[in-house]
Amino acid sequence: MTAALPGMLELRYELQSKAAKWYATMDIANAFFSIPLAAECRPQFAFTWRGVQYTWNRLPQGWKHSPTICHGLIQTALEKGEAPEHLQYIEDIIVWGNSAAEEVSEKGKKIIQILLQAGFAIKRSKVKGPAQEIQFLGIRWHDGRRQIPIDIINKIAAMSPPTNKK
């Protein structure tokens, strides 16, 4: 089932090929928990804790197929809503443009509208941009080029050199 997820490396190369000037990102809030489980599927998610039996009624975050299912449902909603060009990795979405911040802002608003209509929640604090520099999937993007985030560079620079061969 995991083959339905795009490879992060391919996403990076595709985004780099766009050589964009402006970016905006969206992260769906609690995406897995936004997806209800069908009643007939709930028994397979039953568990016992302190002698009481429970079951999930939403897609559990720790289940190995949850990322694939979540990605597929979001992708389907975006396709049905005729979303503008974007890249998606599970619940993280990025749009880009070259002409103006307003172009990217409109693309982002369209995607948010589609997701809200599909029943997903979007936290305003999880919407970034439009900006000429943005972080997506742990990588800082600027002028179509990926860069290592400054906080990562600082962590590496602060590391002590090894004192033995182990």
Neighbouring residues of 66: CB distance < 8 A, sequence distance ≥ 6? 32, 59, 60
pLDDT of 1 reads 47
Say yes or no to pLDDT of 3 above 70. Answer: no
pLDDT of 159 strictly over 70: yes
Domain that holds residue 67: 17-132
Q: How many whole angstroms separate alpha carbon 102 and alpha carbon 92?
A: 21
pLDDT tens track for 30-63: 999 989 999 999 999 999 999 999 999 999 988 8
Residue 144 lies in a domain: no
User: Are 30 and 122 in contact, with CB atoms under 8 Å apart?
Assistant: no
Beta bridge pairs of residue 46: 55
Instruction: Tell me the pLDDT band of 152, cut-offs 50, 70 and 90.
Output: confident
Q: What is the mean pLDDT of residues 10-34?
A: 89
Contacts of 132 (CB under 8 A, 6+ apart): 21, 22, 23, 142, 143
> What's the mean per-residue pLDDT of the chain?
89
CATH label of the domain that carries residue 93: 3.30.70.270
* Residues 103-110, mean pLDDT to the nearest whole number: 94
What's the total number of domains in the chain?
Answer: 1
